[in-house]
Amino acid sequence: MINSVGMNSNYVQYCKPVFTSQAQNHIAVNNVQSDTPKETTNLIMQYLENQARNNVSSPYNVSTPIWTHAFGNCDNMKVTDAQGNVVQNVEFKKDGDKLTEEIFVKCVNGSTVNKTIVNDGNKKSMTLIFKNKNGEITGQENRTYEKLDDNTAISVHNGKTYKISGLSGDVITVEHDGQKKVIDLGKKIQPTLDTIENKPTNKQISLEQKEFLLNSVKKLSGDLILKFDEEIDQMVILDTDEYEGFYRNDNGIRKLKLSQKVKDDMTFCHELGHAINRIDSEGDSENKVRISDNKNYIKTREIEMNNFRNRCKNDDIIKPMNKFIYDDFIQKGYMSYEEGQKDGQDEEFAEMTGFINCMDVDWINNRVACMLQFMPESTQMVYKKNQELF
């Protein structure tokens, strides 16, 4: 199982440097000769180690997010390092009906992530580029979606074309590479609502709620629709808007649950990411293997999280990262750190899957940019796994 998922780590074990009293360009360096008394040297070493973790050269020393209003419920976000360089930037633009979202992240290992989404009427496009610290492209995703009329759309993912028809009804057909897949979306909709505790209610789904679920799928790219059909048995409306969505396996029925307040496909793709991650076509998902149980992935995450914990001191950055590092595992109801980490691994896998595949312009949670900046190696592992899956 471990080798089959294709996740390999580029990390070597982090070795703590020995600091002495000299520094060059604000970075502590070793000094072979020193006449400083031992006790004084120890104090100097402690001071310089603390300075090295917080000095201007540290990629973990960043500003609080700077928010400026763009339009609607969309806010631009910018984060800079201590030297004023932009390390996180989310910018929205509006030109008539044309909406553009540009995302840039400079990661702690020097690599960068650029994503551009354009929504223009019935046309959507997305370009995602990963580069290493030398500026070389290490990964690229391209998506387009165009609704031709009320019944038909064409989507393209990395040069592969999918024709989607039947959009005016409950039964849609996806054609790709000479193959046709007919999907009855109506049969995938649960007729009643669920509580957030995963208990069914007697509340019947309304026509408006049914249309919301149908359209959540119909606006996706063809490859995503096929993956949804493969991974999800039922779509469910939650009886509360307190949470946006869940993925649950209820006695062998794989359910994607959404609140009606979900407006973009990031949440949908995130929950689909949970379904993909859990290899649980039968039985209780909590006792099944997940792709994110990969040992190299776990080890890489642990190194990244420890570097983040030790070096980042900004509470406004630490807070959104709790979605993935689960330092508050007790408050989340877990009995141990290890138990919480299993779901932290799952959350990063789902979030990255959503980020890679969503192509709707809408607000972005600052946790996405933080995850990309401070966990570049493990997010790249998830990206490479997504390349195999889609």
Give the pLDDT confidence score for residue 261 in this predicted structure: 85
Tell me the two tokens of residue 343.
């779901």
**The model's pTM:** 0.83
Q: Which of 254, 272, 285, 257 has the alpha carbon at shortest distance from 386?
A: 272
Cβ contact 19:45 at 8 Å: yes
Give the pLDDT confidence score for residue 40 in this predicted structure: 61
Q: Tell whether the torsion through CA atoms of 311, 340, 253 and 177 is positive or negative.
A: positive
Give the pLDDT confidence score for residue 364 in this predicted structure: 77
Q: Tell whether the torsion through CA atoms of 195, 218, 122 and 265 is positive or negative.
A: positive
Per-residue pLDDT of the chain (390 residues; tens, 9 = 90+): 433 344 544 443 333 333 333 334 443 344 444 444 556 667 766 665 665 555 556 999 999 999 999 998 899 999 999 999 999 999 999 999 999 999 999 999 999 999 999 999 999 999 999 999 999 999 999 999 999 999 999 999 999 999 999 999 999 999 999 999 999 999 999 999 999 888 889 999 999 999 999 999 999 999 999 999 999 999 999 998 888 899 998 888 999 999 988 888 999 999 999 999 987 644 454 556 899 999 999 999 999 999 999 999 999 999 999 999 988 887 788 888 888 898 999 999 999 999 999 999 987 789 999 999 999 999 999 999 999 988
Question: In which residue are the tokens 């009906």 written?
Answer: 97
Question: How many other CB atoms are found less than 10 A from the CB of residue 105?
Answer: 25
End-to-end CA distance of the chain: 20
Give the pLDDT confidence score for residue 16 in this predicted structure: 33
The long-range contacts involving 60-68, CB below 8 angstroms and separated by at least 24 positions, are: 60/108, 60/307, 60/308, 60/311, 60/312, 60/313, 60/374, 61/311, 61/312, 61/313, 61/314, 62/87, 62/88, 62/312, 62/314, 62/317, 63/314, 64/314, 64/316, 64/317, 65/316, 65/317, 65/366
Give the pLDDT confidence score for residue 301 in this predicted structure: 96
Q: What is the DSSP string of 217-242?
A: HHTS-HHHHHHHHHH-SEEEEBS-SS
Helices (H) and strands (E) in the chain, counts: 9, 18
Q: Which of 272, 274, 290 has the alpha carbon at shortest distance from 226?
A: 272
Cβ contact 94:101 at 8 Å: no
Question: How many other CB atoms are found less than 10 A from the CB of residue 238?
Answer: 22
Give the pLDDT confidence score for residue 73 in this predicted structure: 85
CA distances from 196 to 11, 178, 201, 234, 259 (A): 39, 41, 11, 16, 10
